[in-house]
Amino acid sequence: MNADDGEHLTEELLDHLLASDSIETYLDEENVTDRRLVDYLRYLLDGHGLKRAAVARASGINATVVYDVFAGKSRPGRDHAIKLAFGLGCDLRETQRLLRLAGVSELWCKQRRDAIIIWCMNHGLDRAATDDELYRLGEPTLLAED
């Protein structure tokens, strides 16, 4: 179990799946369900004790867009999902899960821009400070996508 969020790590689940005698056994034992982005966003919102308005401010995303994503009316693009992660105060693991559920590629340390974002997130920088670092290092900022 991952002590942070009470869920099994993906690697552990894969080991259980591969060791299972039947798929039904695995599905029943692990209580596997499809997790939806809106459910995960609400989980993060509650877990971090935030309101959507605060997430919109911290993320730099228009409040209407944030409300639409939380309501499931729209899916965020990659940079919007990254900005949402910053707005929600996500750590790297939470960010990667949010990106997967949004249906976009995860941050990858072999890509220069992604590496900068990962480093900033890991060092507790907010979205604005991360944009400053991206700009300083000659990479497109997150707000440049709006």
- More reliable by pLDDT, 10 or 1: 10
Measured between alpha carbons, how far is residue 143 from residues 26, 27, 95 in Å? 43, 41, 18
pLDDT at 30: 66
Q: Is residue 95 part of a domain?
A: yes
Determine the straight-line distance between the first and last CA of the chain, rounded to whole angstroms. 38
Cα angle, residue 32 at apex, residues 96 and 11 outer, rounded to 5°: 50
Per-state percent for the chain, helix, strand, coil, to nearest 5: 60, 0, 40
Both structure tokens of 94: 């939470």
Q: What is the pTM of this model?
A: 0.80
pLDDT at 1: 31
Ramachandran angles phi, psi of 60, nearest 5°: 80, 15
pLDDT at 33: 55
Q: Is residue 19 part of a domain?
A: no
pLDDT at 143: 86
pLDDT at 12: 78
Query: Which domain does 87 fall in, by range?
Result: 35-145
Residue type, 117: I
> Where is 26: in which H helix or E strand?
helix 23-30
pLDDT of residue 47 exceeding 70 = yes
- For the ranges 33-47, 96-110, 130-144, the lowest mean pLDDT is seen at 33-47
Q: Is residue 14 part of a domain?
A: no
- More reliable by pLDDT, 102 or 7: 102
CATH number for position 98: 1.10.260.40
pLDDT of residue 4 exceeding 50 = no
- Residues 73, 21: Cα–Cα separation, whole Å: 40
Q: Is residue 43 part of a domain?
A: yes
pLDDT tens for residues 55-91? 999 999 999 999 999 999 999 999 999 999 999 999 9
**127: how many CB neighbours lie within 10 A of its CB?**
23
Domain count, the chain: 1
Q: Is residue 12 part of a domain?
A: no
Q: Is residue 52 part of a domain?
A: yes
